[in-house]
Amino acid sequence: MLNPVTAKAVIDHALFMGADFAELFVEHHQTSSVQLVSGEVDKINSGIDFGIGIRLFFGHKILYGYTNSADEQELKRVTALLAAKDQRDQIASAGALNLNKFQDHHPCIQALSQSTNLDSKIAFLRQADEAARKQSEKIVQFMGSALQREQRIEIFNSEGLHIGDTRHYTRFAGNAVAQEGNEQSTGFEAPGALTGWELNEQLDAKVLGEQIAKQALIKLNADACPSGEMPVVIGNGFGGVIFHEACGHLLETTSVAKQASVFHDQMGEMIANPVVSAVDDGTLGNKWGSINIDDEGMATRKTQLIKDGVLTNFMADKMGALKTGFERTGSGRRESYKYAPASRMRNTFIEAGDSSLEDMISTIERGVYAKKMGGGSVQPGTGEFNFAVQEAYLIENGKISKPLKTATLISTGPKVLKEISMIGADLDFAAGMCGSVSGAVPTTVGQPALKVDKITVGGGN
């Protein structure tokens, strides 16, 4: 995408101006989306993003700029603008660029650049729509979308790195609305993977439509969720958002380096109940949060964050490693060329234990089974987090008694990690988008079902 001779000239120019390190991130990003509403194609959109991000290090200071042009003079102009205030005699010299090759661990068959497959996508969405509506006449609306992206990246840096990758993302999203009288409720699912449109062969549109409709129907006329502190069993899959928010963000060097994480000085310490072991793994085949290389060009890897309750690793990008001294983990990620990379999660999950869901529920006299979670957020400095419960049930006398409406769970990371007392064997994953300093990136959350002994539940009762 960018002539290596041009890249080398720009990098040389940056080092001539005194930068310790220079990097070019080149991105060509093709997108296609189609949305179905009321069984008809409501929106179709496509587009191409192209830009180059220039990152310079002067000590621990990051200088970042971007442009839509691949012209050498324009790239040098942006570089000069960035370095103007820090210009000094040259202290580093650039290595010769060597093209790195690697094995693609996430193969794609039906790439967007080959075909948009709009016929097939629309048929898939219609099938989900019909399945949802067949569940009940109370399903009054279904909205489905299919999104496919193809992100080609190329990275050059002053250490001689020249590497490129192509990432193929496909995601389906469905939202059903149920109505009875004046009351409405919704159901939602959004599976995705680092793959091409062949994802549709792994997903059953009929089953998806039915699941989404059932979620909406079960909440219709459900009782308000109780409020206050109580035991909660959190379901597998997207339930992993609890670890993502409660702990994951606090283990990124982005917040650790600023001492804006409550865990910044607790490496090697017991920060969770001994039943908890957790991982951030970018290597899982075709998972939504996987990558071959991170956005700094480093091969990604599996990072054991917590082992038997003990903090064992942070997730570190290049600058995070420089600032904290912890080893890089292939976690430098960014939404696009418009952002400097930062340490970010990939596929983050709590490892499987040996309890069954029934065992966990049977230990609770009165509490909540949060079967399906929604999104959440965290304040890293204090560890205070919140996340939404999308599908919940009341637990009474060790048994599930009735469905409940929307609720929120809140606590702090350090507290909730110690309150996890039982972990199931049913590890599962779910796709999500994570927003932070370097934009929104695809991440997978995951966990088996688990029991939290005490957490604040915010419901309507």
At residue 409, φ and ψ (nearest 5 deg) are -110, 135
Residue 456 touches another protein, criterion: CB under 8 A: yes
Stretch that binds another protein, among 111-119, 270-278, 326-334, 393-401 (CB under 8 A): 111-119
Residue 394 touches another protein, criterion: CB under 8 A: no
> In this complex, which beta carbon is closest to another protein, that of residue 187 or of residue 330?
187
Candidate list 312, 338, 359, 363; residue touching another protein; CB under 8 A: 338
Map the footprint of another protein across residues 181-240, applying CB under 8 A. Answer: 183-186, 219, 224-225, 227-229
What's the distance, Cα to Cα, between the start and end of the chain in Å?
58
Helices (H), 88-240: 118-135, 199-202, 205-219
Residue 457 touches another protein, criterion: CB under 8 A: yes
> In this complex, which beta carbon is closest to another protein, that of residue 253 or of residue 300?
253
Residue 18 touches another protein, criterion: CB under 8 A: no
Candidate list 67, 136, 283, 363; residue touching another protein; CB under 8 A: 67
> In this complex, which beta carbon is closest to another protein, that of residue 17 or of residue 427?
17
> In this complex, which beta carbon is closest to another protein, that of residue 156 or of residue 337?
337
Nearest partner of 21 among 85, 106, 79, 102, judged by Cα: 79
Torsion-angle region of 277 (φ positive above 0: left; ψ -120 to 50: alpha; else: beta):
beta
State how far the alpha carbon of 246 is from the alpha carbons of 213, 304, 316, 412, in Å: 30, 16, 18, 6
**What is the smallest separation between the CB atom of 388 and another protein, expressed in angstroms?**
4
Residue 258 touches another protein, criterion: CB under 8 A: yes
Contact 369, 396 (CB under 8 A): no
Q: Return all residues near 369 (Cβ < 8 A) that are at least 6 apart.
A: 232, 233, 235, 361, 392, 393, 394, 395, 400
* Single-letter amino acid code for the residue at 454: K
**What is the smallest separation between the CB atom of 160 and another protein, expressed in angstroms?**
25
Q: Return all residues near 114 (Cβ < 8 A) that are at least 6 apart.
A: none
Stretch that binds another protein, among 57-65, 164-172, 292-300, 445-453 (CB under 8 A): 57-65
Candidate list 9, 140, 352, 433; residue touching another protein; CB under 8 A: 140
Residue 433 touches another protein, criterion: CB under 8 A: no
State how far the alpha carbon of 153 is from the alpha carbons of 12, 75, 164, 365, 460, in Å: 21, 17, 5, 53, 47
Candidate list 73, 259, 362, 401; residue touching another protein; CB under 8 A: 259
Distance of alpha carbon 4 from alpha carbon 232, whole angstroms: 55
> In this complex, which beta carbon is closest to another protein, that of residue 4 or of residue 65?
65
Stretch that binds another protein, among 78-86, 129-137, 310-318, 362-370 (CB under 8 A): 78-86
Residue 180 touches another protein, criterion: CB under 8 A: no
Residue 118 touches another protein, criterion: CB under 8 A: yes
> In this complex, which beta carbon is closest to another protein, that of residue 278 or of residue 340?
340
Residue 440 touches another protein, criterion: CB under 8 A: no
For residue 171, what are its two tokens? 């995601």
Residue 382 touches another protein, criterion: CB under 8 A: yes
The three-class DSSP label of residue 292 is coil
The three-class DSSP label of residue 110 is coil
Distance of alpha carbon 304 from alpha carbon 116, whole angstroms: 38
Stretch that binds another protein, among 46-54, 147-155, 189-197, 439-447 (CB under 8 A): 46-54
Q: Per-residue DSSP letters for 384-434?
A: EEEEEEEEEEEEETTEEEEEE--EEEEEEHHHHHHHEEEEBS--EEEEEEE
Stretch that binds another protein, among 75-83, 89-97, 283-291, 350-358 (CB under 8 A): 75-83
**What is the smallest separation between the CB atom of 298 and another protein, expressed in angstroms?**
21
Q: How many residues bind another protein (CB under 8 A)?
A: 80
- CB-side neighbour CA atoms (13 Å) of 342: 24
Residue 153 touches another protein, criterion: CB under 8 A: no
Residue 34 touches another protein, criterion: CB under 8 A: yes
**What is the smallest separation between the CB atom of 241 and another protein, expressed in angstroms?**
9
Candidate list 1, 3, 5, 61; residue touching another protein; CB under 8 A: 61
Burial 237-254 (b: 16+ CB within 10 A, else e): bbbbbbbbbbbbbbbbbb
Candidate list 255, 303, 331, 438; residue touching another protein; CB under 8 A: 255
**What is the smallest separation between the CB atom of 126 and another protein, expressed in angstroms?**
12
Torsion of CA 215, 218, 222, 227, to 10 degrees: -40
Site string for another protein, 298-327 (x = CB under 8 A): ------------------------------
Contact 142, 156 (CB under 8 A): no
Q: Return all residues near 432 (Cβ < 8 A) that are at least 6 apart.
A: 190, 238, 241, 244, 288, 375, 442, 443, 444, 445
